[in-house]
Amino acid sequence: MERKLLIAIGNTGLDRITTNYLISLFRDRNDIAFHLFSVVPLSGITESQQLLSDLETVANSNPVALQKRAKFRTCQQNIKRQFQTAGFNDEQTSSEVCFSWGSVSEAIIEQGQAGLYDAVVMGKRDLSMLQQMITGSISCELWTKNHSLPLWIINGTPATRNFLVPVDCSLHTVNAVDHLGFMLQGDPEVEITLFHSCSLLADEHITPQEEFLEKWGKEWCDQHLRGDSDGHYHFHAAEQILKENNIPTAHIHREKNDSGIEPAQVIVREIKKHSYSTIVMGRRLAKDKNIFKGVTDRVLANVHDVALWILN
């Protein structure tokens, strides 16, 4: 089955970082498709103008918008050539530049939902909270507004094929492992460490089996949603999903940490201690978080030179 990635292209140095990461991860695979997507927002357009004219007509009469579209198209052509040089065929890479009345992040989310993509991919600058408030950040907007598509945020220059997957007994983390297994199905080189934090403030809630039935079925749940004597199945279920996706057993590792105050702190420390290239995490809905936000929010704010795959 083909995997489809929507890659947000902004004609910046981040595009090169994102492209290099994807080439390194999926080189020699013909079951992956990349759609390069850029958005030109039309600023200074009143509501009455929007009602009286269609989007393309307004854009075609705007020299600045047309110039931006031309730059995006040139950037996308350069990236397509980079993929082709790395061995991907022409059919695996497509491109599109669109105009938008609204924000760039909203247009990306709409495209992702309409195109049935497996994930949205984009680069992230290291911006302080104050800078984000002043300049805005598309990656931060996607982080906040997108609650339906997996989001891959590439930060810095990840250099290895080692994955860190924080696991617990929640549905959203098991879904994250399932996404990882699907995207890397049959990969003989990837190294995956399943990491469980037993820190003081870690959430030890066990999601009821009933919530897994629709996706995995009763027979699978009865067999694999089991673990230690305390009922924790975080390692067993995750390992089984990866094995079913033909990830070599010898490349799946367990790591457990019993120290620390809260899990985000422990995860960040683990990342800095080892050479992980990618973190894969499930994410709770905003309504389920407290005033300190969620673990994924705090991890994203404190890691560098790593890619972060997030599933809501």
Task: Please give the full DSSP string across 86-145, using - where no structure is assigned.
Answer: TT--GGGEEEEEEEESS-HHHHHHHHHHHTT-SEEEEEE----HHHHHHH--HHHHHHHH
Q: Is residue 136 located within the same domain as residue 167?
A: no
- Per-residue pLDDT tens, the chain, 312 aa: give them: 789 999 999 877 788 889 999 999 998 899 999 999 999 988 766 666 666 567 888 878 888 889 999 999 999 999 999 999 999 999 999 999 999 887 888 888 889 888 889 999 988 765 444 344 334 456 666 666 656 789 898 887 777 789 999 988 888 889 999 999 999 999 999 999 998 877 545 566 678 888 888 999 999 988 888 766 555 677 889 999 999 999 999 999 998 877 766 778 888 888 888 888 899 998 765 544 433 357 777 787 777 788 989 887
Tokens 């694999």 locate to: 224
Q: Which of 155, 188, 212 is the last residue of a domain?
A: 155
Q: Is residue 147 located within the same domain as residue 213?
A: no
Q: Is residue 106 located within the same domain as residue 131?
A: yes
> Which one, of 154, 141, 135, lies nearest residue 105 by Cα?
141
Q: Is residue 206 located within the same domain as residue 303?
A: yes
Q: Is residue 93 located within the same domain as residue 66?
A: yes
pTM: 0.86
DSSP state of 303: -
Q: Which domain holds residue 229?
A: 162-311
Q: Is residue 170 located within the same domain as residue 139?
A: no
Q: Is residue 78 located within the same domain as residue 151?
A: yes
Residue 232 token pair: 């924790």
Residue 169 CA to residue 276 CA, distance in Å, equals 23
Q: Is residue 14 located within the same domain as residue 148?
A: yes
Q: Which of 130, 155, 180 is the last residue of a domain?
A: 155
Q: Which of 103, 136, 155 is the last residue of a domain?
A: 155
Q: Is residue 224 located within the same domain as residue 279?
A: yes
Q: Is residue 172 located within the same domain as residue 125?
A: no
Q: Is residue 110 located within the same domain as residue 243?
A: no
- CATH number of 107's domain: 3.40.50.620
Q: Is residue 196 located within the same domain as residue 142?
A: no
Total tally of structural domains belonging to the chain = 2
